[in-house]
Structure 1
Amino acid sequence: MGGCTSQSANSDSSLTTQTDLPVATQVSNQTMKDLPRLEGTATVEMTVNGSPITIEVDGNNAPITAGNFVDLVSKGFYNGLTFHRVVKDPQPFVAQGGDPQGTGTGGFVDPETSRPRYIPLEIQLEGEEEPTYSKALGRQAGFSAPPVALKHSRGAIAMARSQMPDSASSQFYFALSDLAFLDGDYAVFGYVTDGMDVVDTIKQGDRIDSAKVVSGMENLQK
């Protein structure tokens, strides 16, 4: 993973995954129909270092991104995985995890098909009826302040990806401070509602003890 020297536009590279798996340039409509969707909200409790973090997952504004995360949580995928990248200096930035390889290069591979799962970049703009898919709408596309519905405020949880828009899989990150410069380029899908003090203590190499869906599982459509 690239270094992070400041909390600026140059920090974007530290959120990318360096997967060596083949990545399609765009997720097809047919593929999108096969992806899990969250129709509504769900609550996930993630335990790190013995302490709980409560996450409200927003399927209203990020149905595919939220559905992918809730589906992986329900499978027990995140249990035992590490936070392989935590950036707090010179300013609080992100705590990133969800890679089964622990190196920043891995993602979810469906054990039933032996194929990796990728999800499209999904950005809901304020006032729009549907999210925009497979297209960056922030600084990567030349826009400075896109009116996104889910902003990178402190406590946001979002998906990491490679430079290709439709390459997110299982790696996620917590925003450790307000990171408006990432809005529109990375898909936020929820917020920490309790336990942000626990998130602040996460160190590189710390493991996720467990993650479970405590409510809203009925909103997951597979």
Structure 2
Amino acid sequence: MIHTKIYLLPILALLPYAASAPGSPPGGHHGPPPPSCPGPCLATSLSDFTWDLSIEYHAFWYFTTPAHQNSWGTVTLNLSNPAVPAVKTLACGASSDRLSDFFYGDQWYPCASNPASPAILDTSFRFFSRSRVDVNQTWVCDEDGLVKFAALATAPLNMTCTDVSWTNPNWTYGTGEFYSTRDVKCAPVSLRLKPNEERILL
């Protein structure tokens, strides 16, 4: 049976493997000693790491009668990991019909993996209406041995949105026309996202 050791490390403690593992002698390292000249993936992952992120939100409501509605919200997210530049941008998305804010931050949405770029193992996000986004990602650096990283980030959002409502003044039951609609569109938000927590999985 293979056991995976997980060390929860403050970001500063990752430079580089310097903190002693619990129970290790003074001056010990987490895992094997780092290479004297780490490759770009490892060097970036161990430095002041940030993701590049852009996010958009759109919600739409339409009523076929005053008492019958169909509604949904969608969020799209693009994420770039500078430690793995071969994966230019990872596209993620989710939709929800849970009234009335659609996204409540209680569900993680997985991003589709890219089989051509196995260095990115897993990515997911959760969205709190228009106020916050969380990102969770695991990736591998294959330089002088495999080193697996996992990071979690939380960022507040200040989204600029338009909210347009319309009511049909000539609506008549049975015509099939919309009684009313509401359309919320938020401009894309781009930001640098720094992990709140980063882990090395040995």
Q: Is the TM-score greater than 0.5?
A: no
Higher fraction of helix? 1
TM-score (normalised: structure 2): 0.28
Higher fraction of strand? 2
Q: Based on CA coordinates, which of the two structures has the bigger radius of gyration? A: 2
Larger relative contact order (C-alpha < 8 A, sep ≥ 6)? 1
